[in-house]
A and B are shown apart, each in its own frame.
Chain A
Amino acid sequence: MRVTQGCFSYLPDLTDDQIKAQVQYCLDKGWAVNIEFTDDPHPRNTYWEMWGLPMYDLKDPAGVMMELSQCRRVYGERYIRMSGFDAGHGWESVRISFMVNRPKVEPGFRLERQEAKGRQQRYVTHAYATDRPEGERYGS
């Protein structure tokens, strides 16, 4: 099952040129671009691990693309996303976030039904990938 998270995730995966154009957009707006990765695809997993520090004061996407290619070399079999952080007054938060890399095979989620008190049913989303320990989840 294809995980959809952040902007553009219902579109086909962005090509490198499209990613570059997005990064240029962020830089033109004065946002700091950040690269994050994870191998836990659960939608409530908000805090991904950071690849290096957020990149402030860049003018051109080439630097970000350099970091992305390095991150892909190490974590090519994980989810990688980019976010644009707006430090401007009143915003001070992430303005854009989009996926730039995903594992080749995404096994998806199963729905678990839990019997709770009385006749209550509780639903749990469980990613098949997380049955295995971190770092071994996507064949790497």
Chain B
Amino acid sequence: MAAQRWRGPCHRAQPVSEDTDENPGGGPPASISLREEFDGAGIAEVLAQLDRELIGLKPVKTRIREIASLLLIEKVRQKMGISAGQPTLHMSFTGNPGTGKTTVALRMADILHRLGFVRRGHVISVTRDDLVGQYIGHTAPKTKEILKKAMGGVLFIDEAYYLYRPENERDYGQESIEILLQVMENQRDDLVVILAGYAERMETFFRSNPGFRSRIAHHIDFPDYGDEELFSIAELMLAGQNYRFSSAAQDAFRRYIAARKSQPLFSNARSIRNALDRARLRQANRLVADLDAPLNAETIMTLEPEDILASRIFAQAADSRVSAA
């Protein structure tokens, strides 16, 4: 019984050990079909999903393709026995809010998992609060606990620059940074760390913590979305929720995007999602207002221009035009 259990759970996704299974005679294979590796890992599927579900972000997609190719080649090299050791995979994602950093991190974890560079492929998303403690001796256990949870997957640190507070020299963030750096260096095959945040502040953060910059292999910059891209994102989001714009509402929403972009605190796709949520609210309100009107699937799925034009964004835009004049 004991012996059975002991043999039971020996399943680790490690490319090197797979290789020995396939070649019981020993020795690395002389040639490997790249196509087979590519199809076997199912990367094409992840990349296609990335193209389908993420609008725009051309430079990001190109970088991810490059990284995926690099990892694929690295995996083949490992199989052939000419490995250069575990490559550094830590990354930094910089860009404005709502440009898809978290979404891409999830996809990245998937790619890394499929290629066998992380064992489990889960993502633990944290901010400063999860890593840094409130009193002396609290930080190290807290950071280590998060690191342990992230082992075998990806640790996504959002707004990483908050870890470092130069104005307070006794800030516990420094302690957390030291532990992170140590684990990032010594346990590269156990975990991949992705730092994310706004570009300028990340730049300052890296300048004051050169240890991070040198341990991060891939810096990816997320550009802002254009108007037309934002509109496609909106349509994609609505389709996911089984809603659609009427043709008049499409124009209204295009105008909404233009108006919203000029307002402060515009956070790209996140603002779009919030706008759509509010539009759904107004649509529901409009439908409920007239209880006797006939209702069919078409009307209940369609957002009309008045659902969008009622937004305070238009009122504010009008105000500012009046005050300017």
Which residues of A line the B interface, CB within 8 A? 7-8, 10-11, 18, 20-22, 24-25, 28, 52-53, 55, 57-64, 66-67
In the bound complex, do residue B9 and residue A66 qualify as a contact, i.e. CB atoms below 8 Å apart? no
Q: Which of A8, A18, A59 contacts B120 (CB 8 A)?
A: A59
- Given A24-B9, A52-B141, A59 and B149 touching (CB < 8 A)? yes
In the bound complex, do residue B10 and residue A59 qualify as a contact, i.e. CB atoms below 8 Å apart? no
116-164 of chain B: CB within 8 A of chain A: 119-120, 122, 141, 144-145, 147-149, 151-153
Chain A CB within 10 A, most for which of B9, B119, B149: B9
Which residues of B sit under 8 angstroms from A8, Cβ to Cβ?
A: 2, 6
Q: Which residue of B lies closest to A55 (CB)?
A: B148
Q: Which of B5, B8, B151, B153 contacts A7 (CB 8 A)?
A: B5
- Given A8-B2, A11-B2, A52-B141, A63 and B9 touching (CB < 8 A)? no
Tally of A-B residue pairs with Cβ under 8 A?
62
In the bound complex, do residue B148 and residue A63 qualify as a contact, i.e. CB atoms below 8 Å apart? yes
Other than A10-B2, A11-B3, A63-B148, give 13 A-B pairs with Cβ distance below 8 A: A21-B10, A25-B8, A55-B148, A60-B119, A60-B151, A60-B153, A62-B119, A62-B151, A62-B152, A62-B190, A63-B151, A64-B148, A66-B187
- The verdict on B52 contacting chain A, using a C-beta distance below 8 Å, is no
- Given A21-B10, A24-B12, A60 and B152 touching (CB < 8 A)? yes
**14 examples of A-B residue contacts, CB within 8 angstroms:** A11-B2, A21-B10, A21-B12, A25-B5, A25-B8, A25-B9, A28-B9, A53-B141, A57-B149, A60-B120, A60-B190, A61-B152, A63-B149, A66-B187
**How many angstroms between the C-alpha atoms of A53 and B142 in the bound complex?**
11
Q: Which of A10, A22, A52, A59 contacts B151 (CB 8 A)?
A: A59
Interface size class of B (residues with CB under 8 A): 20 to 34
- The verdict on B184 contacting chain A, using a C-beta distance below 8 Å, is no
Chain A to chain B: the 7 pairs with minimum beta-carbon distance, closest first: A60-B152, A63-B148, A25-B9, A62-B151, A62-B190, A63-B151, A60-B151
- Given A62-B187, A62-B191, A63-B149, A22 and B9 touching (CB < 8 A)? yes
Which residues of A sit under 8 angstroms from B144, Cβ to Cβ?
A: 66
Q: Which of B6, B9, B10, B145 contacts A11 (CB 8 A)?
A: B6
Which residues of A sit under 8 angstroms from B11, Cβ to Cβ?
A: 24
Q: Which residue of A lies closest to B10 (CB)?
A: A21
**How many angstroms between the C-alpha atoms of A7 and B187 in the bound complex?**
29
Q: Closest Cβ of chain B: how far from A62's Cβ, in Å?
A: 4
**How many angstroms between the C-alpha atoms of A53 and B144 in the bound complex?**
12
Which residues of A sit under 8 angstroms from B8, Cβ to Cβ?
A: 25
**How many angstroms between the C-alpha atoms of A67 and B153 in the bound complex?**
18
Q: Closest Cβ of chain A: how far from B97's Cβ, in Å?
A: 28
